[in-house]
A and B are shown apart, each in its own frame.
Chain A
Amino acid sequence: MIEREATVFVIDDDPSVRRGLERLLRSAGYLVELFASSREFLERAQCDQAACLVLDVRMPGQSGLELYESLVGGGYDIPTVFITGHGDIGMAVRAMKVGAVDFLPKPFDDEVFLDAVRGAIAARSRSRGDGKRRHPESFRSSSQE
């Protein structure tokens, strides 16, 4: 499967949650890179290798949402699944607007999570098939399909 070769980047400040997500993704056959904060991600992540981003919204320092906005603003277009300890509608809307693929409130079921990651990677493949970079607006319209 294509999935087995894909690498998922996980960014969460909670070590236990981080390790649990890594194990789930590994059991599903993904390669996983773990980051404890936005700053760590920006320091050592090689975004080209990322098939998908799993991003915690609330973290000390730069929040997940802010990190994602800066990535989009910098031209990086990585399909992203947001996870949050206390999601609310406003936050979900904002995440989707900037191009998130999915938004999961913690705690979540393993199948739901893996489906979301799978969906994100698939979205990336489709956009690669177009052979051009997408604008956030077009991303949004496609995600609404």
Chain B
Amino acid sequence: MSVVGSFRRYALGALAVGVAYYVGANLGFILRFPPATPSVMWPPNAILTAALLLVPPRWWWLYLLAAFPAHVAAELGVDWPAPLVLALFATNCSEALIAAVFIRRFSDEPARFDTLRRVVIFIVGAVLLAPFLSSFLDAAAVAAFLGESYWVVWRTRFPSNVLTELTLVPAIVMLVTAWPAWIRRAPRRRRVEAAILAVALLAVEIVVVAGTEDVGAIPGAPGTPLAFLSPLVLWAAVRFGPAGASLSLVTATLFAIWAAVHARGPFIALTLGESVAALQIFLTIVAIPLMCLAALIEERRRAQEALTERLRFEEELSGLSGAFVHVSSHEMDRAIEIWLGRLGNFLGLDRLILLRLADDQQTLAIAHSWAAPTLEPLPPASHDFSSVTARIRTKQPFVFPIPGVHPDEATRPDDPFGRHGIKSMLIEPLVAGGRVLGGLAFVAMVAERTWPEDLVQRLRLFAPIFANALSREASENAMRANESMKSAILASLSSSVAVLDREGRIIAVNEGWARYALQQSATPEAVVDLGANYLDTWRQAAREDTQHASEALMGIKAVLDRSRSGFTLEYPSHAGTGECWVAMSVVPLTRPEGGAVISYTEVTERKRAEVEAQRSRQELAHFTRVSTIGELTASLAHELNQPLTGILTNAQAARRFLDATPPDLGEIRSILRDIVEDDKRAGEVIQRLRDLLRKGESEFRPLDLNALIRDVARLLGSDTIIRNVALTLDFAPDPPIVTGDRVQLQQVVLNLLLNAMEAMAESGEGARTVVVRTQSTEMDTVQVAVQDTGTGLPAGTEDMVFEPFYTTKPAGMGMGLSIVRSIIDSHGGLIWALNNPTRGATFHFALPLARERSV
């Protein structure tokens, strides 16, 4: 499609050349002296030469082909033999080809005449060499077919073609290449000046050159009217450069020749032939230096412009590099846009786009852009540039379309850039700190644009400035986002948070803190004044003698002087409505200046739940104790029955002794002593029972574990007899002192002993023995083992026996051992069960020994 598209474009060009060729040829016929064959001026050759300079060599064939019918059509009217017509076409083409090949070989810009070098190459190649060589062929053809004198033809054709090439080629090329831009861009004053010049030129040509009056008649005037043209062509050359010079020369030449041919004008005194030759020589001699002069002036002007532009560029660059330094990140966007606009205007671009590479290192999107006033701006993120991400990552500037790829092929409709009408684009990667952040795209949309190496190098200087701006903006945004995230988190906390400096002064509080302070003004945690010393507040509270106040004060101080890495305290706060519990947490501020962050959270609900759970646990423990004692009824009855029997028997015996005369008072006294002992004994049983049945707050105090176990064993004394169990106590020599609740630990021992005895109820054979051992370990713990000779635990259930509702007894609730474990847990101990190697199982529990070994 692109090949077809460009073919169409070149075909239209070729058609235009064909038409021009035909018109030019007819013009050439007008400008010749019949009967001589060569014209004074022969435009077709110059038209072909100009075309070949303008189009790429691979399309030349098309233009030559288009010229052929025009040539034939024009020359048929002259009544020449066909072979001559063909031969002349060949010589015309050869002239254009020689000129084009030569110029393309030596000139850096074949279609430009704005430096002395380019003009000289053009003069040597197109003006001198090509007509010189082609005239031999032309003369040969004319001599052969028309019988004219070879050298006469050559002598006529050579100067005429020199003049034509010299004046017409630059004029045509300039009209095609520079005219449209000039028409668009030239300021009004220049246009007016050009118009005045054109009018003056035409006036002089009509009046003086083509006029019938002999200017020589004017006293003191130059002998030739052409002298009057000199100021005007000089004006054109100086003010309008090579284009002005060539255009004014063309008109002057045409008029002069027309006048000469019609026996008018400057050389009226000469014969026709001489007049034409003189005209040609005169015009050629004037035109060559004039062209050179124009080129020199143009070159000079360009150098001047380049210098000015260079200075402005440097100025822009220094302005830009200073622009972002003092801009804060939230003004950065605006500053970047302003500077994109300035740069875009300055560089004469259509668009300037700042692309940002996303964090995924793949997506490349518009971050900022500027567009020339006539174009629609591109909003940020509106276009995907990711297709050039890979190239941007190379960190080297590149031109898009890539040079060497034909523009028509690069700007296919399916290409994102082509679709947006981007004709050519230079992308400078933005690199900061070794990381590619994005790119700066210099975009031309109206016309293709070249990106010479020196321009690329200069534009390259802008990239780091924008890169630094982007990088700074990104890091400041990240910092601000981080900052706002932190403050949002702080604000959202329901806890009260304050930051203290090293001396304990409040340097910041969150909203929760301020809110709490408003509600409760009388508590230490409610101080809100920034700058107030928080330690003083707690000192005051400590003087008012609350225990937690001094504890809190010590804790905060310890964190502030870094002797502790953190501190927490839960205490009841009585301010405000009702009792509430507060958890205080102090953590050090990790910064060189020190300080601490202190936070308060209300934990009343949690505390209430804890108390509730504690109460439930105690009730459950009590319930299981009561039900355990229910199992002991028979044994307890026996235990009480013994002293009661002793009392009754002894009392009745005493009565009988009193009846005797004389009563045996000694006997009666010892009876009474026995009765008292029995009564005490019964009392103790009841007391132990009441202890176990007691319900209430747990009370932790130091206890002798041996004594405690002995008490429980005594309570079970009758039970062991009833069950025929031998209970052995094997105690550590030093009484192991633990800190605990007597009733709860008694419950543990009672449950384990009953458990052991029940385990043996089903095992028929063998001695039924239970051994209770206490043993202090090296780990500052005491270990208690209750070993039985029962049936043992089913394999694999050693850990399950402590789970709630796990039971092997038909009537068991499965709570006993789970309560035992919760009691041991709450005493900071461990409990476990193992089967014995031979028979039965052993339950172990370990408790930490109390620090002070005193009851």
A residues contacting B by CB (< 8 A) are: 14, 16-17, 19-21, 23-24, 26-28, 58-60, 63, 85-86, 106-110, 113
Contact = CB atoms under 8 A, between A and B. Distances in A.
B650 A27 contact: no
Contacts of A109: 648, 652
Given A14-B645, A16-B646, A85 B638 contact: yes
Nearest to A60: B721
A27 B638 contact: no
A86 to B, nearest CB: 5
A107 B721 contact: no
B10 interface: no
B638 A86 contact: yes
Contact of B641 (A20, A23, A24, A85): A85
B526 to A, nearest CB: 67
Contacts of A17: 642, 645-646, 649
Nearest to B668: A23
Given A14-B646, A23-B657, A58-B721, A86 B652 contact: no
Contact of A85 (B642, B652, B656, B671): B642
Contacts of B740: none
A26 B643 CA distance: 20
27 contacts: A14-B645, A14-B646, A16-B650, A17-B646, A17-B649, A20-B645, A20-B647, A20-B648, A20-B650, A20-B653, A21-B649, A23-B653, A23-B657, A24-B652, A27-B653, A28-B656, A58-B638, A58-B721, A60-B721, A85-B718, A86-B634, A86-B637, A106-B644, A107-B647, A108-B645, A110-B655, A110-B656
Given A27-B657, A109-B652, A16 B634 contact: no
B721 A110 contact: no
A20 B638 contact: no
Contact of B653 (A58, A86, A108, A110): A110
Interface string B171-183: 0000000000000
A141 to B, nearest CB: 32
| Candidate in B650, B718, B724 with the most chain A CB atoms within 10 angstroms | B650
A58 B724 CA distance: 9
Interface in B655-695: 655-657, 660, 667, 671, 674, 677-678, 681
Nearest to B651: A20
| 4 residue pairs, one from A and one from B, having the closest CB atoms | A20-B649, A16-B646, A23-B653, A110-B652
Given A58-B722, A86-B637, A86-B638, A107 B645 contact: yes
A76 B646 CA distance: 29
Contacts of A23: 649-650, 653-654, 657, 667, 671
B641 A106 contact: yes
A106 B645 CA distance: 6
A5 to B, nearest CB: 19
A17 B681 CA distance: 13
Contacts of B660: 27
A19 B674 contact: yes
Interface residues of B, number: 31
A17 B682 CA distance: 13
A48 B469 CA distance: 124
| Candidate in B645, B653, B667, B722 with the most chain A CB atoms within 10 angstroms | B645
Contacts of A19: 646, 650, 674
Given A23-B654, A106-B645, 6 more contacts: A16-B646, A16-B677, A19-B646, A20-B653, A85-B638, A110-B655
Contacts of A60: 720-721
Contacts of A21: 649
Contacts of B656: 24, 27-28, 110
A113 B681 CA distance: 24
B721 A20 contact: no
Contacts of A58: 638, 718, 721-722
A115 B678 CA distance: 25
Contacts of B649: 17, 20-21, 23-24, 107, 110, 113
Nearest to B646: A16
A16 B642 contact: yes
B674 A20 contact: yes
B832 to A, nearest CB: 31
A85 B718 CA distance: 10
A86 B642 CA distance: 10
Interface string B339-360: 0000000000000000000000
Contacts of A113: 649
A113 B637 CA distance: 21
Contact of A20 (B634, B646, B681): B646
A26 B656 CA distance: 10
A113 B653 CA distance: 12
Contacts of B724: 63
B722 to A, nearest CB: 6
A23 B663 CA distance: 13
Nearest to B639: A85
A86 B647 CA distance: 17
A59 B717 CA distance: 11
Contacts of A86: 634, 637-638, 641
| Candidate in B655, B657, B681, B721 with the most chain A CB atoms within 10 angstroms | B721
Contacts of B681: 16
A33 B648 CA distance: 20
Nearest to B633: A86
Contacts of B721: 58-60
Nearest to B677: A16
Contacts of B643: 16
Contacts of A108: 645, 648
Contacts of B638: 58, 85-86
Nearest to B635: A86
Nearest to B727: A60
A88 to B, nearest CB: 10
Contacts of B720: 60
A110 B659 CA distance: 14
B790 to A, nearest CB: 20
Contact of A14 (B634, B642, B654, B671): B642
Given A16-B678, A17-B646, A24-B652, A107 B722 contact: no
Nearest to A22: B653
A63 B642 CA distance: 16
A69 to B, nearest CB: 15
Interface in B713-733: 718, 720-722, 724
Contacts of B677: 16
B670 to A, nearest CB: 8
B645 A85 contact: yes
A109 B648 CA distance: 8
A108 to B, nearest CB: 8
Contacts of B634: 86
B646 A85 contact: no
B29 to A, nearest CB: 158
Nearest to B652: A110
Nearest to B650: A20
Nearest to A26: B653
